[in-house]
Amino acid sequence: MKSRLSALRLLLLTMSASQLSAAEYPLSSKQPMSDSYHGVAVSDDYRWLEASGTPAVRAWTEAQNHYTRRHLDGLPEREVIAARLTALFAKDTPSHSGLVSRPGRLFALKFQPPKQQRLLVTLASADNLGSEKVVLDPNEMEPKGQVALDWYVPSPDGKLLAVSLSEHGSEEGTLYFYRTDTGERLAEHIGRVQYPTGGGSAAWSPDGQSLFYTRYPLAGEKPAADLNFFQQIYCHRLGTPVSSDTYAAGRDFPRIAEIDLHTSRDGRWLMAQVANGDGGEFAHYLHDFNDAQPTSWRQMTRFEDGIKQIAFGCDGASLYLRSVKDAPRGKILRLALDGSQALHAATLIVPESAAVIEHLTITSTRLFVTDLIGGPSRIRQFDLAGKNLVVVALPETSGVDQLLALKDRPDDDCLLFRETSYTQPSAWMRYDPAAAKGSGSLTKTALFNTSPVDFSDIEAVREFAVSKDGTKIPLNILRRKGTPLDGRNPTLLTGYGGYGISLRPGFNFSERLWFDHGGVTVIANLRGGGEYGEEWHLAGNLTHKQNVFDDFAACAQHLIERGYTRPEKLAVEGGSNGGLLMGAFLTQHPDLARAVVTHVGIYDMLRVELDPNGAFNITEFGSVKDAAQFRAIHAYSPYHHVSDTTAYPAVFFLAGENDGRVNPAHSRKMCARLQAASSSQAPVLIRLSAASGHGMGTSLTERIAEKADVLAFLFEQLGMQASAAAK
């Protein structure tokens, strides 16, 4: 007996704190249930954790949060990391996003640490910071940062603003009205205009006295299960009761419609872009403000037409369409605005090429096209006939995330766009195509960021992994210059792979902590995204979703084979759809990484469509109601592939209790299942925040705390020390 006790003591002394605590997880009782899908019985021991707000779930959440806090706060690295992050953000320069142009002024959302939320400001121009005026500061409404600005729309003359505000990261927005010059809020407000499922939008009439806006059903208009669906368009006239607002359109739209409204440059025309859920299909409807009937709309395109975007020409006679019909990388068409020309007779302006057309912008005499080339961006300039190509000179690995045609003068062809890279902070650039004798000039405006830390020792390297089926997958590798390929580098691999969303180059100064301790960061451009067009997207959705997971595993294997890292020094991180990716990766390849960080993820793919936003995802993921789609979903659903007595890596789940996009029950259930199943003794932790949702509108303080927790977890698992930088 004595020898056995001595051996036990030796074992306990050699085990890490995380290994010791893994056996002490809070109790997650099993309450077995079973469902049948197309003759397949599927069991679920933790269905009870879906019942948000019940005493049992509240007690479980409190116990798990306490357990996680005890673990993370006990790490000596956590306090050092939090202090360093706080100091970096205190030195961060203000950044401007969401720019909107109106005659004589620019509107922008300004993020200015240490303020918790973005402000809404105006400027005389992008070159005159001294002209900046604050119109609306949500931080003054709630100093802890629990009121967020979802989106805003200035009136045509810029004198009034419609602003959607929501609380606690919920994205459940109410529309308010403000006077731009004074910041005065008008008495009226409109509820139910914004919700995470389908978003929200608004557009002003030419005289600035009426507003078309999206609204979800009010209580009593639809059954309770449908209140976050059936988004429709209504019309409000300022100074009149909201109860008298008139219906405009949407009764024949799909249950999962997502509506985006925008107007022509002259203000006469209103376009409603209607998405059929999240799968990338769009229909477009046109309203003429000269028609007094708000219900008068002309359908321009249908879901099956492959039209991703429509932009108004400045001549009042033309529409420009970005199409993927028989052109998966995109082409540009021109169509008569008056309806005299059928879609099939539209004029081809810019044909498909090797680059992916991501966006188009029209000025008085020019057409600008933003391209993607596997991740980095390019801007091409044409005349309105699609001729006289000029490529705007950008750094080779730049990302462009917004092109804005200025509206100071009707004949103005100048553009603003925000350019960034992996190693340089973002800057708003002005492009004047008429300068330099017609060859164009590019200048940095006063709206640019500087970094609180130096990145001159960091380089971005682009390599390609080979997936299971032979497809080449781009990897963007950020590392310190001279990093040895000896397999010893702590490496963090991230990815997304869904909805046609592309991961463009972007700058994050907080990564300095990672690089200073020998870390390597890798961003994978997986199938399911849009980096190589619609074919790339469709190769990773519906029944082809497994390709995304194979791509990511191939990227991890590539990093190991190339000598960047080894499994015990590799961590992976993703969020939302990228959280699903993390779940699939850890259940399919539990031995390929040491640690997994997964934010607001989806894990029980058989029940995701029962949530409001999950229903919107059917066009991207598929439905268990379809036998073939069920088989594909069930084959990868992470929750259903957790295997007892498997040595899983360390896992850190993060979720927001106010998340209307992904039900936090997914994180609760997956955490409970892994805690019960894993034999590795590596920790399985969960952080459930009552002050956040899916991530939009999260306060700065909460974001810093979350980042500190993640880095402390990774440093512990990969054997890194924050107290002394790696040499």
Residue 21 has a pLDDT of 47
Intervals of the chain under pLDDT 70: 1-23, 408-411, 436, 438, 722-727
369 in a structural domain: no
Q: What is the domain range of residue 538?
A: 30-88+453-718
Q: How many CB atoms sit inside 10 A of residue 258's CB?
A: 21
CATH number at residue 591: 3.40.50.1820
Residue appearing with tokens 């188009």:
360
Give the DSSP letter of residue 407. Answer: -
Q: How many CB atoms lie within 10 A of CB 668?
A: 25
Beta strands, E only, 137-209: 147-154, 160-167, 173-179, 185-194, 202-204
> What size, in residues, is the chain?
727
Q: How far apart are CA 403 and CA 380, in angstroms?
A: 12
Question: pTM higher than 0.75, yes or no?
Answer: yes
Question: Could you tell me the sign of the dihedral formed by the alpha carbons of 427, 428, 433, 435, in that order?
Answer: negative
* Residues annotated as part of the active site: 576, 694
Are 578 and 505 within 8 A, CB to CB?
A: no
The tally of CA atoms less than 13 A away on the side-chain side of residue 367 is 29
DSSP 301-340: E-GGG-EEEEEE-TTSSEEEEEE-TT-TT-EEEEEETTS-
Q: Is residue 553 part of a domain?
A: yes
Place of tokens 């360093």: 84
Beta bridge mates, 299: 285
Q: How far apart are CA 542 and CA 548, in angstroms?
A: 11
Instruction: Tally the domains of the chain.
Output: 1
- Does residue 478 belong to any structural domain of this protein? yes
- Residue 655 Cα distances to 500, 602, 664, 694, angstroms: 24, 10, 6, 7
Asked if 160 and 152 count as a contact pair (C-beta separation under 8 A), the reply is no
Which residues are registered as beta bridge partners of 202? 213
Question: 379 — phi, psi (to 5°)?
Answer: -115, 125
Is position 494 within any domain?
Answer: yes
The answer to whether position 199 is within a domain reads: no
pLDDT at 169: 86
Alpha helix positions (H), 24-174? 55-73, 76-90, 138-141
Are residues 288 and 296 in contact, defined by beta-carbon separation less than 8 angstroms?
Answer: yes
Task: Characterise 695 by phi-psi region: left (phi > 0), alpha (psi -120 to 50), beta (else).
Answer: left
Per-residue pLDDT at 698: 86
Q: Closest Cα partner for 685 from 710, 660, 659?
A: 710
Separation of alpha carbons 601 and 580, rounded Å: 5
* Strand, coil or helix: 148: strand
Domain assignment present for residue 191? The answer is no
Each residue of 317-350: b (16+ CB within 10 Å) or e? ebbbbbbbbebbbbbbbbbebeeeeebeebeebb
Which residues, 6 or more positions from 244, have their beta carbon under 8 angstroms from its beta carbon? Answer: none
Whole-number pLDDT of residue 23 = 57
Residue at 216 is within a domain? no
Dihedral of CA atoms 33, 36, 39, 40 in degrees, nearest 10, equals -50
Q: Which residue has the tokens 């199938």?
A: 527
In a domain, 10, yes or no: no
The secondary structure of residue 72, as a DSSP letter, is H
Element (H, E) at 107: strand 105-111
Question: Distance (Å, rounded) from C-alpha 717 to C-alpha 268?
Answer: 59
* β-pairing verdict for 160-167 and 202-204: unpaired
Give the DSSP per-residue string, 586-617: HHH-TTS-SEEEEES----TTTGGGSHHHHHT
CA gap 53, 412 in Å, rounded: 55
Structure confidence at residue 242 (pLDDT): 96
pLDDT number for residue 113: 87
**For 510-549, b where at least 16 C-beta lie within 10 A, e where not — what string?**
bbbbbbbbbbbbbbbbbbbbbbbbbebbbbbbbbebebbb
